[in-house]
Amino acid sequence: MTVPSTRKDLMIVNMGPHHPSMHGVLRLIVTLDGEDVIDCEPILGYLHRGMEKIAENRTIIQYLPYVTRWDYLATMFTEAITVNAPEQLGNIQVPKRASYIRVIMLELSRIASHLLWLGPFMADIGAQTPFFYIFRERELIYDLFEAATGMRMMHNFFRIGGVAADLPYGWIDKCLDFCDYFLTGIAEYQKLITRNPIFLERVEGVGIIGGEEAINWGLSGPMLRASGIQWDLRKVDHYECYDEFDWEVQWQKEGDSLARYLVRISEMTESIKIIQQALEGIPGGPYENLEIRRFDRVKDTVWNEFDYRFISKKPSPTFELSKQELYARVEAPKGELGIFLIGDKGVFPWRYKIRPPGFINLQILPQLVKRMKLADIMTILGSIDIIMGEVDR
């Protein structure tokens, strides 16, 4: 009788490319010894669409509809950074009312993004119910977006110097109602998830990142704050009008997947606090800085020619970018979303470089999954919260 010999060599497995609709198309080449992970190599680029090159061949206004396709779950933030960069470059003032509207939209978008992180993350580690719960609240946020911007996901709402339209009649009351309702929803999530023994078994002590290590890897957002670093660009850079509201930076010191979950859950509560204060204190006045509609016209520009002005449809208003360089950043739900912009006294940016939080945060994945079990890969990958649209651009 022949005894089957035990194989001792390593096994190389392809995880993915994953389903494109949720986090996007990420492929992991995992080297396994039984069920222990020896090595993991992420393969990117399946969702690369040349977003930076497109930006260098469009005016800022023309490019605005494209940007919501980077991180398609936190769409307001991509629009915010796209208009913030030229505003800082041209030193353009944003009216107080427009700034308040922006803050409300950004925080609603942060909640929507965290919700659509929570559902799939729970589904990844085997809990189906929260996945259905989060869509209930998220639909209400998208109803508010649809009422204000006309679109549910890709809004095209921000403009240089303000926003595209004022809030419609009755919107503020609807939003306040949503805030009250959503707080009960968060309590429900915490009751369902936070103390669940199976959930705790899967996430506690899994994927630990120390504070110094997080800084050295360049992590940002909940990934950084879960490791005990109190760093939030809303407090650091004082952009928009966040200083006028009373809210706290949410952080944990453990640095594991559970800490990242707790940071995001408590961030949603803080966002509700900010939204409620903004809705109650929103000033009157214009929602757009109309002065900047009178653009510094480039002499004899091609847009001023007869064909463009009288024959074809009206071109998008051109905005001349002065000859200087600038790095602008906002605190997106996933971390620091930045743009490096070089103007060249033309209407197109000379160089447009996107710094997506997901791309930087994903670097640490191979480090975190080594010497863990195969099942922990999904927990750790889920807790990083990546969207491949912005990773690959």
Q: What is the DSSP letter of 387?
A: -
Element (H, E) at 332: strand 325-332
Q: Alpha-carbon distance 79 to 105, whole Å?
A: 11
203: tokens are 């996430």
In the chain, the amino acid numbered 342 is I
pLDDT of residue 211: 85
The whole domain housing 63 covers 11-392
Cβ atoms < 10 Å from Cβ of 26:
23
Nearest one of 144, 177, 210, 141 to 364, comparing CA atoms: 210
Residues 6+ apart with CB under 8 A from 175: 104, 108, 144, 275, 279
Domain CATH code at residue 30: 1.10.645.10
pLDDT of residue 371: 85
8 A C-beta contact, residue 210 and residue 176: no
Within-domain flag for 150: yes
Within-domain flag for 291: yes
Bridge partners, residue 36, by sequence: 33, 373
Within-domain flag for 2: no
pLDDT of residue 309: 57
Within-domain flag for 98: yes
Within-domain flag for 206: yes
Q: Alpha-carbon distance 119 to 25, whole Å?
A: 18
As to burial, measured by CB atoms within 10 angstroms (0-12 exposed, 13-18 middle, 19+ buried), residue 15 is middle
176: tokens are 């306040």
Provide the residue-wise pLDDT of the chain in tens; the chain has 393 residues.
666 666 678 888 888 776 655 567 888 898 988 888 888 888 888 888 888 899 888 888 888 888 888 888 888 999 999 888 888 888 888 888 999 999 999 999 999 999 999 988 898 888 888 889 899 889 999 999 999 988 888 888 888 888 888 899 999 999 999 999 999 989 988 888 888 889 898 888 888 888 888 899 999 989 999 998 888 898 888 888 888 889 889 988 888 989 999 999 999 999 999 999 999 988 888 787 766 655 555 555 665 666 655 555 455 556 778 888 899 999 999 999 999 988 888 888 899 899 999 889 888 988 888 888 888 888 888 888 888 888 888
Within-domain flag for 327: yes
Number of domains forming the structure of the chain: 1
Within-domain flag for 6: no
Beta-strand pair 36-43/27-33? antiparallel
In the chain, the amino acid numbered 315 is P
8 A C-beta contact, residue 252 and residue 263: yes
Within-domain flag for 5: no
Bridge partners, residue 40, by sequence: 30
Maximum pairwise Cα distance, the chain: 92
pLDDT of residue 3: 60
